Structure 1
């Protein structure tokens, strides 16, 4: 990776300049890919993690401070995304195990766990998009960001009871839509 002043590029990127993003991507992609391959346990995941790295780079370009070395800052971003990916994989494993354990539990809890597992495995994005925004927020924060119900209530500045009712409603809607897709 070239030793250049990245600040102007990152500022332009944070302002939506696509050319700046392309330049930063072209100059950093080999470095990022190598580091991801070293850190991740699966080479098959490298391309997906790489996408996550550049999405996060777009989101956090405005947080870069010129007094810090770009390479160190960028490496930190890569390491965090690899960790997030591993955590997501581990969460999928735990959810699948939970589904197995909940086989004899109430239908609501079992359905919730099954939906979580299916969501991570089959990408529920098209089905999620059909949910109203308030319900979608709860599902994304709960299952994709690993937030507790209390954290969601604080984050959205709504009562815990409202979070729980929206969660219940969203799961019911997802179940119904998933069953329609399964046909």
Structure 2
């Protein structure tokens, strides 16, 4: 799914809104579209492969927990993680 296309900002906001209301499918879609970039970034910063996996898991746990605080009207950059 990730390789087909990128989510644009409007689509990402819609998925985040759905995720904030508890939609697990929306969370899955966001994970699929972001996992490669997040994994690559963490792997660049951390050497140990198990630590990389643990940190990536924690990123998604924290995203799920904090998305309820996401301001739909605010600016969003999918590359900067501004929804945290």
**TM-score, normalising length from structure 1?**
0.37
Distance in 2 separating the partners of 1:17 and 1:7: 13
Structure 1: gaps (5+ residues): 78-183
Max Rg structure: 1
Q: Which residue of 1 aligns with 2:14?
A: 8
Q: Which residue of 1 aligns with 2:81?
A: 73
Considering only aligned residues, what root-mean-square deviation do their CA atoms show, in Å? 2.2
Q: Which residue of 1 aligns with 2:35?
A: 29
CA contact (8 A) 2:19 2:67 kept: yes
Q: Which residue of 1 aligns with 2:54?
A: 48
Distance in 2 separating the partners of 1:70 and 1:63: 16
Cα drift, residue 68 of structure 1? 3.0
Distance in 2 separating the partners of 1:16 and 1:68: 20
Cα drift, residue 63 of structure 1? 3.1
Distance in 1 separating the partners of 2:75 and 2:65: 20
Correspondence for 1:20 among 15, 22, 26: 26
Structure 2: gaps (5+ residues): none
Relative to its length, the structure with more helix (as a share) is 1
CA contact (8 A) 1:36 1:50 kept: yes
Distance in 1 separating the partners of 2:76 and 2:30: 17
CA contact (8 A) 1:9 1:21 kept: yes
CA contact (8 A) 1:9 1:24 kept: yes
**TM-score, normalising length from structure 2?**
0.75
Figure out how many residues of one structure are paired with residues of the other and give that number.
76
